[in-house]
Amino acid sequence: MYPKILKSIALRSPVFGPIVIERDRLRQEVAQFSVERGRSVPELSGVMNPGYCHCCRQQTVFEIKGSWLRDQYLCSNCFSIPRQRHIQHVLDTYFQGWEEKNVHESSPSNELISRYCASYSSSQYFEGVAEGTFFNGVRCENLESLTFPDHTFDIFITQDVFEHIFDPARAASEITRVLKPGGVHVFTAPKHKGLRKSYPRARLQGNQIEYLLEESYHGNPVGDGKALVTWDYGDDFEELMNSWSGSTTTTYIIRDRSLGIDGEYLEVFVTRKKGDME
């Protein structure tokens, strides 16, 4: 409250008024520079803008909570983050009627997609639990050896999962197998700028993990909350996905603050199985 009062007084002052106006102008330029670079800077924490959220499907206010927009640019209503809003924007825009399809999501961390889809199912991977069985009400599935029959799903969704898989080629092939003809794998994964060739960071040797590079972890909705990063993906990621899946991958990328979509690693990838979707 007091900063607003002081600013109002300063704006009426012939000495401080121009200084405050110039400060605000510079802040706007910094904000615009941040948009163009795809990230905010610490000074922008607390910046808000109105817009439409595809996750909660209503007008809302988006707020920057920190310098890493990918995880800290939140919808004030559903608390979604940019990559979640982008993946649902892609579904709503390019796959209209997806809510009536048979959808499976691997390793979801929220209910943002399930709330709209009647034929929705999900799974997590639990170490030591038999695949295809349920643990605490959640189905256990390993993307490298799915237990679903061929041609089961119209849409298969993974969000920031493929960078944690030891054998992504096997996983991509398995996802394609369980998709119906014309079905799509809609997913996100960090694709690193300036990295020409993707490479593994760790691999399995029997039951032991061999670390090829320094260990790196992301958050995990199950287990101890940590997920080992096993691959760093670069410019050849789509080419790899095409060869692994035997299908064609399309990349979607936008930056639009009116949709709450801004930050790093915003790509949404869609791999479509050959054939026509029903």
> Mind listing the pLDDT tens digit for each residue in 85-114?
999 999 999 999 999 999 999 999 899 999
Question: What pLDDT is recorded for position 17?
Answer: 46
Question: What pLDDT is recorded for position 30?
Answer: 39
What is the DSSP annotation of 213-253? S---EEE-SSTTSEEE--EEB-TTHHHHHHHHHTSEEEEE-
Question: What pLDDT is recorded for position 27?
Answer: 45
How far is C-alpha 217 from the chain's CA centre?
16
For 265-271, what is the mean pLDDT?
Answer: 97
Length of the chain: 278
Q: What is the pTM of this model?
A: 0.82
Question: What pLDDT is recorded for position 46?
Answer: 83
Confidence of residue 61 (pLDDT cuts 50, 70, 90): very high
Question: What pLDDT is recorded for position 222?
Answer: 65
Question: What pLDDT is recorded for position 278?
Answer: 65
In the predicted model, what is the mean pLDDT of the chain?
A: 87
Residue at token pair 């320094």: 214
Asked if 235 and 264 touch (Cβ cutoff 8 Å), the reply is: no
* Ramachandran angles phi, psi of 257, nearest 5°: -65, -25
Question: What pLDDT is recorded for position 40?
Answer: 42
246: left (phi over 0), alpha (psi -120 to 50) or beta: left
Confidence of residue 223 (pLDDT cuts 50, 70, 90): low
Question: What pLDDT is recorded for position 34?
Answer: 45
Confidence of residue 4 (pLDDT cuts 50, 70, 90): very low
Asked if 163 and 190 touch (Cβ cutoff 8 Å), the reply is: yes
What's the pLDDT tens digit per position in 7-57?
454 445 444 444 444 444 434 443 444 444 444 444 566 899 999 999 999
